[in-house]
Structure 1
Amino acid sequence: MSQQSRSRTVPPTRTRPGAADRPLCEAYDTALLDLDGVVYAGGAAIAYAAESLVAARERGMHLAYVTNNASRTPQAVAEHLTRLGVPAESGDVITSAQAVARLIADRVPSARVLTVGGEGLRAALRERGLEPVTSLDDGPAAVVQGYDPGVGWAELAEASYAVGRGLPWFASNTDLTIPTGRGTAPGNGALVEVVRIATGKQPVVAGKPLPPMHRETILRTGAQRPLVVGDRLDTDIEGAHVGGVDSLLVLTGVTDAAQLLAAPAERRPTYVADDLRGLLTGHPEATAAGDGFACGGWTAAIRDGVATLDGDGEALDGLRALCAAVWTEAGDEPGDAEWSKALVRLGFAGE
C-alpha cells in the first residue's frame, strides 16, 4: 500500500456537495466503481453506463470495478462487462470474496474452509492457498459466507453447525439487499442473519464499508487519487468516508433523493449525479445565499423545519442546493427537515 494510501484521514463533516471545475474523469486517476445499481441491474446495462465508462477511460481515467457481490469470479464479471460494451480484464475487478479470503488466510493459512457461496468465493479462497469444503465433516478451520442465489437451507444449516462449534466465522459482506432487474432481492446480509439467529454469534466482515475491502482495492489497483462511485450510502459512500477518499453517488440504484437528504455525515457523498454521465462533467458549487444555499437557478433554505425551494433550472442543481441546506442544518446527524414538497417540485415525486 502506498504512503499516500496509509496517510489518508477521515474527512471532516460534509455540509454540502462538493464542487469540481473540471470533469471528474480528469480530476481523479481511478474510478472505483460499484457494479449492481451503477453499471448494471439484473445483468442488463443501466442507461448511459457503457458509453460513459468508455468515454471516461478514453480521457485517461483508470476503471476498477469494486463489488460486494462475491458470487462470480473476476473473470466472469469482466466477460459480462465486455458483453455490455465496457471492455474489462479480470484484474480490473475487485470483489469482497478476495478481501475476505485475505482475512481468512491471515488467520488460518493453508486451511480448509467451510464455504457457503458461489464460485467467485471458492476461487478467491484457492487464490490464497485455502481449500473450500462443504461439510463440517471435512474438518474445516473456519466458515465463510458469500452471496450466491443458489444457497439453500442445507448450506445455511451446515454453516450454523460449524459456527456453533466455535469455528471462526467470516462474511464477504452484509448487504441486506441486492438490486435485480425485477426489483430488490435479499442479499448476503440476509443469509448471514439466518446463521446469526441460529448461533447467536457475529461474523468478521470484509466488504464495504469496512477497511478490509478498501485495503484490498488499493493493493490491487495502486490508485493514488481514487474516486469511489456507487449507488448505496451504507456501503459505497460510507466505505469511501472510512477510507478517506472522495465519492460520487449515482441515483440509478437503491438510494433515492429523500434518502440522500436524510444521510448522516458519514454517508454523504462528495458529488451526486443522475447516472455515470456525472464522471464526464464538472460539478457546480452550492454557495451560501442569504439564509440558504444556491446552485444553478435554485435557492434552498430551511425555515421552521421545512425545506423551501425557489427558482428554476436543472433538477440535480436543485437537489444539490437542498442537500446543502439540509446537511448544514443537521450537522453530523441525519437530516430531518420536511422536504417532500421540494422534491416533488424537482420531479423526484414519491421519494
Structure 2
Amino acid sequence: MSDALLAAYDAVLFDLDGTVYHGARVIPGAPETIQAAREHGTPVRFVTNNASKAPEEVVAHLTGLGMPAGVDEVHTSAQAGVVLLEDRLEPGSEVLVVGTESLAAEVAGAGLTPVRENGDGVKAVVQGHSPDNTWAALAEACLAIRAGALWVACNVDATLPSERGLLPGNGSMVAALRTATDVEPLVAGKPQPLLFETAARSAGAEKPLVVGDRLDTDIAGAVAAGIDSLVVLSGVATPEQLIRAIPAERGTYLAEDLTALTESPEDLKIGPRPGWSVTVENQTLTATGDGDGLDLLRALCHVAWETGVTELGEDAKARLR
C-alpha cells in the first residue's frame, strides 16, 4: 500500500454524489477503498455540494451503504453557505431559506433567523437543493432578491447524479432565479475553494487529494484551492469533456472510479502513456498504438491540453471507443 496513490497524500477529500454513490446505490468497491485509506492512516473527508442533508444524515446514509463515518468528517455546502451569511449579517438577521429543514437548522444554529416568506425584515436569501422546492418558494426568494437581499447559493451544480440518472440540481433552480432577478448569487460550495480548504484544515492536511466526478465543481474547486485531484468517470465527467477541459478544470490523475486510489500514482497520471502515441495532424488528434483505453484518454488529454487541439481524428475516436 505504500506505493498506492492514497499513500502519496496526507488526506483524501471525497465528493459524494457520482463519486462514492449514486443516490441509494454505492459505487462498487467504494467501501473497501475507503476502509483501505483508513487502515493506512490516511484521514478521509466527505465534501459535498448537496445542501439537502445535515451532516448527521450524510453519516447515516454512508453508514447504511457500508461506509461508517463521523460527523466531523462531513463538510457540506449548506455549512459553507451559512459561513458566508455569518460573515455578512448581524446576529438574529432574517434569512429566507429556499431548501430543506436541515438548511434552515444550519441557519438557526448560526444565530440567524430562518423564514420561508419574504418580508421587510429579510436581509438575505440562502438557496440549497431540495426535492420539495416549489415555484412559490422561488417567488418569495425572487421578491427578496429584487428588494436588495443578499443572495447565497449553496452550490450551482446543474445536475444531480442519482441511481436513475442525472436529475435537475440546485444550479438549475439558481438559474431560474438568476433569469428572474438579473442578479448573480454568492456561491458557497464547489468550485469555490472554501469547502476543500475547511476539510483539509480539519484533517490537519498539508497535501490532500481531491477525488471527484465533476470538472466544473470538484476539479475546478481543487484547482482553485491548489490541490491535486483524481477525476473519476463514475459520475458526470465524460472523455469528451476531459479532452476539452479548460485549465481551471484539469485534474492531475484519471481513473474509472475511486478504487484506483490503491493503484500507483504513475499509472494514473494524465500525461504520455506507454503503448500510445498521440500527435496533431491537420488540427486533429491522431492516436497510434495499443493498450488500455484509459491510458489512451490520459495521453489524449495531455496533448490536447498542451496544444489546444481538441478535435479527435477518426482513428482516435475508434480507439477511444
Q: What amino acid does structure 2 have at the position aligned with 1:92?
A: E
Q: Which residue of 2 aligns with 1:267?
A: 249
Q: Is the 8 A contact 2:11 2:200 kept in 1?
A: no
Q: Which residue of 1 aligns with 2:213?
A: 231
Paired with 1:197 and 1:156, the residues of 2 have a C-alpha distance of: 12
Q: What amino acid does structure 2 have at the position aligned with 1:56?
A: A
Q: Deviations over 1:91-119 (max 9, x none)?
A: 11100111110110111132221100013
Q: Is the 8 A contact 2:13 2:196 kept in 1?
A: no
Paired with 1:39 and 1:235, the residues of 2 have a C-alpha distance of: 16
Q: Does 1:117 align with 2:94?
A: no
Q: Which residue of 2 aligns with 1:70?
A: 51
Q: Which residue of 2 aligns with 1:48?
A: 29
Paired with 2:170 and 2:96, the residues of 1 have a C-alpha distance of: 16
**1:124-163, aligned counterparts within 5 Å?**
124-137=106-119, 139-163=121-145
User: CA 1:340 to 1:240, structure 2 compared with 1: closer, same or farther past 3 Å?
Assistant: farther
**Please, which moves more after superposition, 47-56 or 69-78?**
47-56
Q: Is the 8 A contact 1:125 1:132 kept in 2?
A: yes
Paired with 2:103 and 2:201, the residues of 1 have a C-alpha distance of: 19
Out of 264, 276, 289, the position equivalent to 1:311 is 289
Q: How many residues of Structure 1 are paired with residues of Structure 2 in the alignment? A: 318
User: CA 1:51 to 1:343, structure 2 compared with 1: closer, same or farther past 3 Å?
Assistant: farther
**Please, which moves more after superposition, 206-215 or 102-111?**
206-215
1:149, CA displacement in angstroms? 0.8
Q: Which residue of 2 aligns with 1:37?
A: 18
Q: Is the 8 A contact 1:296 1:314 kept in 2?
A: no
Q: Which residue of 1 aligns with 2:303?
A: 325
1:208, CA displacement in angstroms? 0.6
Q: Secondary structure at the match of 2:265?
A: coil
Paired with 2:81 and 2:51, the residues of 1 have a C-alpha distance of: 10
Paired with 1:340 and 1:53, the residues of 2 have a C-alpha distance of: 39
Q: Deviations over 1:32-77 (max 9, x none)?
A: 1100100011221012222211112212221100011100001100
Q: Is the 8 A contact 1:66 1:217 kept in 2?
A: yes
Q: What amino acid does structure 2 have at the position aligned with 1:337?
A: E
Q: Is the 8 A contact 2:157 2:169 kept in 1?
A: yes
Q: Deviations over 1:104-151 (max 9, x none)?
A: 011113222110001332232233222211112383221110011110
Q: Is the 8 A contact 2:234 2:256 kept in 1?
A: yes
User: CA 1:271 to 1:286, structure 2 compared with 1: closer, same or farther past 3 Å?
Assistant: closer
1:195, CA displacement in angstroms? 1.5
Q: Secondary structure at the match of 2:84?
A: helix
Q: Is the 8 A contact 1:296 1:318 kept in 2?
A: no
Cα RMSD (Å): 1.9
Q: What amino acid does structure 1 have at the position aligned with 2:208?
A: P
User: CA 1:179 to 1:340, structure 2 compared with 1: closer, same or farther past 3 Å?
Assistant: farther
Q: Is the 8 A contact 2:55 2:74 kept in 1?
A: yes
User: CA 1:148 to 1:142, structure 2 compared with 1: closer, same or farther past 3 Å?
Assistant: same
Q: Could you state the TM-score of these two structures normalised by the residue count of structure 1? A: 0.85
Q: Secondary structure at the match of 2:266?
A: coil
Q: Which residue of 1 aligns with 2:312?
A: 338
Q: Is the 8 A contact 1:302 1:337 kept in 2?
A: no
Q: What amino acid does structure 2 have at the position aligned with 1:64?
A: R
Q: Is the 8 A contact 2:254 2:268 kept in 1?
A: no
Q: Is the 8 A contact 2:81 2:154 kept in 1?
A: yes
1:219, CA displacement in angstroms? 4.2
1:285, CA displacement in angstroms? 6.3
Q: Which has the higher contact order (CA 8 A, sep 6+)?
A: 1
**Please, which moves more after superposition, 335-344 or 320-329?**
335-344
1:283, CA displacement in angstroms? 2.9
Paired with 2:301 and 2:284, the residues of 1 have a C-alpha distance of: 13
Runs of 5+ consecutive residues of structure 2 not aligned to the other structure = none
Q: Is the 8 A contact 2:278 2:303 kept in 1?
A: yes
Q: What amino acid does structure 1 have at the position aligned with 2:150?
A: P
User: CA 1:120 to 1:223, structure 2 compared with 1: closer, same or farther past 3 Å?
Assistant: farther
Q: Which residue of 2 aligns with 1:164?
A: 146
Q: What amino acid does structure 1 have at the position aligned with 2:59?
A: A
Q: Is the 8 A contact 1:177 1:185 kept in 2?
A: yes
Q: Deviations over 1:243-267 (max 9, x none)?
A: 1110110010110111101111111
Q: What amino acid does structure 1 have at the position aligned with 2:172?
A: A
Q: What amino acid does structure 2 have at the position aligned with 1:97?
A: A
Q: Is the 8 A contact 2:255 2:268 kept in 1?
A: no
Q: What amino acid does structure 2 have at the position aligned with 1:300?
A: V
